[in-house]
Structure 1
Amino acid sequence: TTVLTLPPGLQDSGRDDGVAALGLDLVIMLGALPPPRARVASWTRHGIWRLSYSDIAVSTSRYAGFWEVYQREDHTTVKLWRVGASTEEDVLLDQRSFNTEVFWLKNQTRAFSLGNFMVYDALLALARARPGAAPPGMQIMSGQRRDDPAEWDSAAYIARQAWLMTDLIVRRVMGRNVRWRIGMFASTRQQAVVSEAKVLQPPKGRFFADPFVYMRGENPYIFFEDYDFHSRKGTISVATYENGAFQLLGTALNLPYHLSFPYIFEYEGVTYMVPETCGNRSIELWKCTEFPLKWELDLTLMTDVSAVDTIIFKRGEYWWLLTNIDRTDGQNHCDELFAFFADSPRSSHWTPHACNPIVRNPMRARNAGIVVSPGGEVIRCAQYQGFCHYGKGVSLNRIEELSPSTYVETDGEIHYAGFLKKRHASMHHWHHQGGHTVFDFAYME
């Protein structure tokens, strides 16, 4: 790797000629774009790449991520450009976003980190001689050009942050929590009919979330995260619904680490569960030995990985594993979705999808459940996060094409929990099976 420091304006024509003579494949511009563009763009076979955090014409990243926090935007955007000989010839190679952090400098650090991964993924695609995934629909455009913040803007930012932190402190002192509970209704429809939903209420000091319904005979069994605020750890509990009422059956899994998202499926007549075991840095497959409360570890599908909300299903000739992986080890699992495939769901060797991450958009990346029709149609449910608002909404997205080298899904409408008419109304999970739909919802108490 050659690192060169170029003089302002490229006045040193000898240095300019020297760069061109190197026969470089690619140049990654780390600082401001020096004129003249036409000479810069002719240096390499694959052009000049440059990250931007606002607009490609902005010469500094000093204030990257500031305005998104200041204006309480849900997402912050980073773009990777191939610089052309003129502004009309600039090509947007990739555009990704992440959920805006509460503080500016943390938001800026995440923007820089995401930019690094964007360059890494683009280089990997280039090395494999395949085109990278297209920018995801250009749906999030928070990266428009903005002026540098003035002194007044900085003072206003401090005041707004002080108000926000005061609100968060008051919540904690008063013991106010966002408590999740589960709704269920019998329906062949995929849309929620709130008036028909029966509610499974958690006891004081706990919340119920991430429900999956599993039919055994004529009875629906609901597996869900049972979170205890005191221990700050989740277990997997089970309930059923009979004679117009929910009945809690007990705990299916209680391990030393946090558990949630108990995805259930069948394979060769055996019932399996893939709970979220991110706290153990693993993806684990559990086998049911006595339904519904006795389970044993069958095998570990992946190790040393920070992954959440894993779903496994058969499509075509392969079994597919879709999961949300945090590559920064910063507990940020909402921005990217990864796919892997194998011949069996009990495989410990899963092949990565050629276009990983297959979804690079925090509006739709994080899994929120799944709906599989009898005909094999797969609807991937996805979470939508807001600024300081986990679980702002859910979308239902149809998987149109899935192969080892392609992934196409149709974006569904985002559904919000406005029906609650309460502060911090939230929903972030959806599952349908056997004529029953389960979902979770929450609000500030």
Structure 2
Amino acid sequence: MGVNNSSSSKIKRIGLIISSLDVTKHELDFIESCSVEPLIDLKLLEIKKTGSKNFDIRKLSWGIINVFERIKFYFSSYSNHLRKYNLEKKVLLKEIVLYKISLSKCGELINHDFDSLISFDYRFDFQEIQKLIRADLIFFYKGLSFLPKNILIGFDEILNSKSSSTFSILKARKEDGNLEVLLEGSFVSSLYFLSNQANIFERRNYYLLQLLNGSMFTNDIPSQPNWLSINSLNNVLREPSLKDQLSYLKKIISSLFSLFHRFIIGKKISWKVFYSNDKWTDLDCNNHESLPNPRNGYLADPFILNHEGRNIVFVERFDFKDGKGKIAAYEIGNFSPKNLGIVIEEDFHLSYPYIFKNDNNIYLIPESSQNKDVRLYECESFPNKWKLKSIILHDVSAADSMILKSKGKWWLLTNLNPSNHSDHCSELFIFSSNDLLNGPWVPHVNNPIFLDPANARNGGIIVDEDIIYRVSQKQGYGVYGQNIQINKILELNDQNYAEEIMSKDHGINIRNTEQSHHLHTNSTYSVYDKWDLT
């Protein structure tokens, strides 16, 4: 993926197909975003769907299942996604032209010369619309690794307990009606269908807008599957089969029972930090010394720095009572770990204390997504006294940021959610600057570098002589921090980023990393964390 530097300033005429003036929040957000985009001229096309009124047992049973799931959904952060919003009541939208028209009269719009038509609802007769309005037709769909059995985006992955949920943005070309893949990616899966779909839809608008306004192109789209065509998609069921519905119902009942059981017996996930002086390339993450967890809290995200002969571990110290993390420091060596106390605390959550040296200065970048920024602290008296030196990025939801210096330039690797929400496991973004403290920080032309929770989220860094390894997290289904992966950075410059997964064949034999999501070393000691139910 990357920035399309050849895009022109030509205004694109876009027609958004809707079936009613009462739209979902996802549709409303997209319409409002387009209304302030200078290079997009959006028209709304209200075209009524034609559907069968025959009795369908699958539709009835799926509706009943959805009633129970919506009850839980109302208590989630996505509850407003169930609401409908009437466009005629939106003052911001008064200037957007609306065409109310039947499918049979779509041909009357042919003179409007749309560059593209867009639909978020696949249940339209796309072939008929495209026959009457000669324009490329763009729509959002599921992943393309296999022929789907139903049209519900975000359902199959929950049914099959997949850790990530895939999506695609497709274009039916006006010339021949053949499908073209514009973008394919994946986000970390939620445990329930409606929440999973809401997360996908919330992220969809950003990437679709990037494609429409020409600020992003894709250069790594996989080969198009042979089965992909409008006709093949038209044969897909609108609701899951009765067998799949029953399997899904069993799954959500089991999940709810498991959560309720953990609540009753008082079990909760707790992290613990371990350290070892074994060589990092041959590290067995079992039975090492650990830092003692605080009462009513835990330690996680360790980074270690050797300064003036002392090995200091900086960690997130999470307090269950406060409900937030603080940055704490511990000294380790051939003695029991020394608790040096809290070194950085704010009114908001802090974690992932990435620490590095530059000349004679020591800097620390904690994760501060709750405050919507990426911030840099400078050490005044090591290791306890720090001051806020710079806000690197403003108004962003970013986590687990790390800064490297390579070939005279500073590089920021961060897990940014461009929709400003809380999932930071799916995208890796890179920014660069010639000035660490003053910026500006320029986004990489290939952002997002990764759009896949299998390797996007940072989990530490290892610098071994001149070689830099990025540690990434691997997420499980319903499990945050299932494992880690070591990636050797092969190329990092203004045009490209490349890395290679390391294994035993590469001389790196790190073992027993299950339930870990972090690793760092200073060559003397390696530090990592693991979670457990306590």
TM-score band, normalised by the shorter chain? 0.7 to 0.9
2:111 corresponds to 1:70:
no
Could you say what secondary structure the match of 1:323 adopts?
strand
**TM-score, normalised on structure 2?**
0.71
2:477 paired residue among 387, 394, 415:
387
Match of 2:29 in 1: none
Name the CA distance, whole Å, in 2 between partners of 1:87 and 1:395: 44
Match of 1:362 in 2: 453
The amino acid that maps onto 1:107 is N
Shift of 1:228: 1.4
2:211 paired residue among 122, 130, 133:
122
Match of 1:399 in 2: 489
Match of 2:366 in 1: 275
Name the CA distance, whole Å, in 2 between partners of 1:155 and 1:313: 50
- Alignment of structure 1 residues 209-248 onto 2, 5 Å: 209-248=300-339
Could you say what secondary structure the match of 1:176 adopts?
coil
Name the CA distance, whole Å, in 2 between partners of 1:132 and 1:42: 27
- Alignment of structure 1 residues 314-325 onto 2, 5 Å: 314-325=405-416
- Alignment of structure 1 residues 165-314 onto 2, 5 Å: 165-195=256-286, 197-314=288-405
Shift of 1:87: 9.9
Name the CA distance, whole Å, in 2 between partners of 1:85 and 1:38: 11
Could you say what secondary structure the match of 2:396 adopts?
coil
Q: Over residues 348-402 of structure 1, what are the superposed CA-to-partner deviations in whole Å (9 max), with x where a residue is unaligned?
A: 5211222222211111111111112321x32111111122111111111222222
Could you say what secondary structure the match of 1:190 adopts?
helix
Shift of 1:264: 0.5
Name the CA distance, whole Å, in 1 between partners of 2:222 and 2:462: 23
Residues 133, 355 of structure 1: 8 Å contact kept:
no
Shift of 1:222: 0.6
Structure 1 residues 87 and 363: CA distance shift in structure 2, 3 A = farther
Name the CA distance, whole Å, in 2 between partners of 1:345 and 1:35: 51
Structure 1 residues 13 and 306: CA distance shift in structure 2, 3 A = closer
Q: Over residues 415-438 of structure 1, what are the superposed CA-to-partner deviations in whole Å (9 max), with x where a residue is unaligned?
A: 999948xxxx61101112233221
Match of 1:110 in 2: 199
2:515 paired residue among 413, 419, 426:
426
Residues 371, 432 of structure 1: 8 Å contact kept:
yes
Q: Over residues 235-271 of structure 1, what are the superposed CA-to-partner deviations in whole Å (9 max), with x where a residue is unaligned?
A: 1111122225322222211222111100101123100
Name the CA distance, whole Å, in 1 between partners of 2:349 and 2:49: 54
Structure 1 residues 398 and 207: CA distance shift in structure 2, 3 A = same
| Unaligned segments of structure 1, at least 5 residues | 139-143
Backbone CA RMSD of aligned residues? 3.5
Could you say what secondary structure the match of 1:194 adopts?
coil
Structure 1 residues 38 and 407: CA distance shift in structure 2, 3 A = farther
Structure 1 residues 368 and 313: CA distance shift in structure 2, 3 A = same
Could you say what secondary structure the match of 2:451 adopts?
coil
Could you say what secondary structure the match of 2:325 adopts?
strand
Name the CA distance, whole Å, in 2 between partners of 1:203 and 1:30: 49
Could you say what secondary structure the match of 1:234 adopts?
strand
| Unaligned segments of structure 2, at least 5 residues | 1-41, 51-101, 225-231
Match of 2:249 in 1: 158
Shift of 1:286: 0.9
Name the CA distance, whole Å, in 1 between partners of 2:375 and 2:200: 31
Match of 1:131 in 2: 217
2:427 paired residue among 336, 348, 354:
336
Match of 1:141 in 2: none
Residues 106, 133 of structure 2: 8 Å contact kept:
no
Q: Over residues 316-364 of structure 1, what are the superposed CA-to-partner deviations in whole Å (9 max), with x where a residue is unaligned?
A: 2320111112233331111111111111221252112222222111111
Name the CA distance, whole Å, in 1 between partners of 2:176 and 2:287: 55
Name the CA distance, whole Å, in 1 between partners of 2:150 and 2:223: 26
Deviates more, 1:146-155 or 1:198-207: 146-155
Structure 1 residues 137 and 224: CA distance shift in structure 2, 3 A = farther
1:93 paired residue among 161, 177, 182:
182
Residues 312, 345 of structure 1: 8 Å contact kept:
no
Name the CA distance, whole Å, in 2 between partners of 1:387 and 1:363: 11
Name the CA distance, whole Å, in 1 between partners of 2:133 and 2:103: 16
Name the CA distance, whole Å, in 2 between partners of 1:83 and 1:191: 51
Name the CA distance, whole Å, in 1 between partners of 2:421 and 2:406: 32
Match of 2:18 in 1: none
- Alignment of structure 1 residues 134-145 onto 2, 5 Å: 134-135=220-221
The amino acid that maps onto 2:188 is N
**TM-score, normalised on structure 1?**
0.84
Name the CA distance, whole Å, in 2 between partners of 1:437 and 1:41: 65
Structure 1 residues 263 and 239: CA distance shift in structure 2, 3 A = same
Structure 1 residues 252 and 100: CA distance shift in structure 2, 3 A = same
Q: Over residues 127-166 of structure 1, what are the superposed CA-to-partner deviations in whole Å (9 max), with x where a residue is unaligned?
A: x4x732424899xxxxx98753234543443332122112
Residues 408, 434 of structure 2: 8 Å contact kept:
yes
